[in-house]
Chains A and B, each alone.
Chain A
Amino acid sequence: MEMDKNKNRPVYLNLFQIRLPVGGVMSILHRITGAVLVLLLPFAIYMLQRSLQDPERFADIVVQLGTPIGRSILLAVVWVFAQHFFSGVRHLLQDVGIGLEITAARRGAWLTFIGSGLVVVVAGACL
């Protein structure tokens, strides 16, 4: 009954004007990166299969990943994985009661961005 009265309440859902706190940005990124990783699965399994078939196909993959486009895609995938990995670690830590307090939670969210950025830099230097 109370709810019926408010049927005409204003709804403001302009996604471009809502400013999410850092934890919210990390949270939606966790979902997006997770979904992207699932979409990448068929390609990953295909590459696993090719890489194990024979030395020529293995060498072909190495060459493909060495081209500027291949390298960019590889580093983008590394970032997607690292971001999902670190925000997942933050989830697990919060499950056991670590980093629940607001400032710690915000710091944790920033740390996931720094962590994934560092992984991309290190991967870019090593690969």
Chain B
Amino acid sequence: MRRIRSTGSAHAGLMEWLLQRTSSLYMGGFVIFTVFHFLVSPKPDYAAWSGWFTDGVVRLAWALFILSVLVHAWIGLRSIYMDYLHPLWLRFSVSLLTAFGLLALGLWSAEILLMIKP
């Protein structure tokens, strides 16, 4: 080897790995619960849908779900970018756009959840 390059810390990336798994467990549970909730509910109309969101626990569960989606999406896209976007400037710009985009989606979702009158 002509140049010795640092391979980084042995546990670098472990946090991302763990977040990807924990967020997937929460999302999976949430989606299964939500599907079953509306399968057993007698009439999935507007009243049932919007009424469900007046429950604070449901709004909190949705907030956690959207947060999980955004974290999961960030780590997933990051892996894709690291594999396919090789020029540093390109990977940096696309990552920056992605970060702002996901942040905007999160704030938008927060607005939707906070606008609901209990």
Contact = CB atoms under 8 A, between A and B. Distances in A.
Interface residues of A, number: 21
Contacts of B46: 51, 54-55, 58-59
Contacts, number: 48
Interface in B100-118: 105, 108-109, 112, 116
B73 A48 contact: no
B108 to A, nearest CB: 6
A45 B108 contact: yes
Interface stretch (B5-13, B23-31, B86-94): B23-31
B50 A52 contact: yes
A51 B49 contact: yes
Interface size class of B (residues with CB under 8 A): 20 to 34
A58 B116 CA distance: 15
A95 B21 contact: yes
B57 to A, nearest CB: 17
B76 interface: yes
A72 B80 CA distance: 28
A53 to B, nearest CB: 9
A29 to B, nearest CB: 13
Interface of B: 21, 24-25, 28, 31, 45-47, 49-50, 53, 69, 73, 76-77, 80, 105, 108-109, 112, 116
7 contacts: A31-B80, A45-B105, A45-B109, A48-B112, A52-B49, A58-B46, A92-B24
